Amino acid sequence: MENNTWIKLYRKVIEHEVFHDETAFRVFMWILCTVDYKSGTKRSGRFWASEILDIKPITYYYILKRLEKKYDLITQVSNNRFTTITVKNWKNYQMPDNNTDNNKITTGQQQNNTTQEYKNKEYKNIHKKKKTLKKEKTYTKENLSIQAVSHLACSILSSSVIVLLFLV
């Protein structure tokens, strides 16, 4: 039995008459959670199952009969060693509906949109860096003038003042 699979259970289960038969409902939920997720079948011995469910073997036997005859939720085929239980309408408990398909589409679109937004932001950041690099001037002996020296001195002084403020 795989513990990482799921079953679909509708809220209308509380309107079904098996909901009011506590022991039968408990056994049915156990069957739903332990059957093969592909086929909806399970092999079970009544002594083994009754030990797990903490009920008497004869009680388990009668509950299976009720689930089959009265509630029409399972079918069972018995031999002298075990009982093969099949959940009727297993696909109703297992197959996804249109909402899950729609959810997959929406999730995929959301991931694509997020990736595109990330790429756009990254492009804008790179573009801003290029603009600031163009604005910054590099001073060499050829383009060094009085105006450039005063601009350089002001920027050095303002950055050193900021550094001094952080140190204090």
List the domain range (segments joined by +) for residue 150. 121-168
Tell me whether residue 1 is in a domain: no
| Tens of pLDDT, residues 24-38 | 999 999 999 999 988
pTM value is 0.56
Whether residue 82 is found in the same domain as residue 130: no
Residue 94 CA to residue 10 CA, distance in Å, equals 11
Q: Number of folded domains in the chain?
A: 2
Asked if residue 24 is part of any domain, the answer here is yes
Would residue 89 count as lying in a domain?
Answer: yes
The reply to whether 111 falls in a domain is no
**CA distance linking residue 157 with residue 136, whole number of Å:** 16
pLDDT in tens, 44-84: 999 999 999 999 999 999 999 999 999 999 999 999 999 99
- Say whether both 83 and 41 belong to one domain: yes
